[in-house]
Amino acid sequence: MLQRSLESAWGTIVPALIVAALVYMDLSFSQWRVLVALGLVASTAMLFHRRLRHYVLLPSCVAFASGLALVMMSSGMR
């Protein structure tokens, strides 16, 4: 049971590492917006693909974490 729960953690750990790497790249506000949009489009496209459907959490989690970073950036600018 514990092994099964640890197998599913990669779906959130990998995107968190990707977003952490993107934060250090110092992207602009418009580049973050494009990244969020691409993540949402990729999630939608992966839902309809038979083999990629199992990995749909990866781009959606990247889009969610990027959106959170975007909100933090915009609130810090005011």
User: Sorting pLDDT into bands at 50, 70 and 90, what band is 2?
Assistant: very low
Q: CA-CA distance, 73 to 70, in Å (whole number)?
A: 5
Query: Higher pLDDT residue, 45 or 7?
Result: 45
* pTM to 2 decimal places: 0.67
Domain boundaries, the chain: 2-76
Rounded mean pLDDT of the chain? 77
Residue 11: its pLDDT value, please?
A: 67
- Pick the more confident residue, 77 or 49: 49
